[in-house]
Amino acid sequence: MTNQKKIVLITGANKGIGFATARELAQDGHTVLLGARDPERGGAAATELAGKGLDARFVRLDVTDPDTIAAAARLISETYGRLDILINNAGITRDRPHPPAELPVAALREVYETNVFGAVAVTNAMLPLLRKSPAPYIGNVSSGLGTVAFLADPEPAMLPYANLLAYNSSKAALNAVTLIYANALRDSGITVNALSPGFCATDLNGHRGQLSAEEGGANIARQVTEDVPSGVFLNENGGTYPW
Catalytic annotation, residues:
167, 171
Cα 50 from Cα 215, distance rounded (Å):
21
Considering all CA atoms of the chain, what is the largest pairwise distance in Å, rounded to the nearest integer? 51
As beta bridge partners, residue 32 has: 8, 56
**What are phi and psi for residue 138, nearest 5 degrees?**
-115, 120
Distance, in Å, from the CA atom of 126 to the CA atom of 37, rounded to the nearest integer, reads: 17
User: Sign of dihedral through CA atoms 171, 16, 138, 144?
Assistant: negative
Q: Where are the alpha helices (DSSP H) in 80-147?
A: 105-112, 119-130
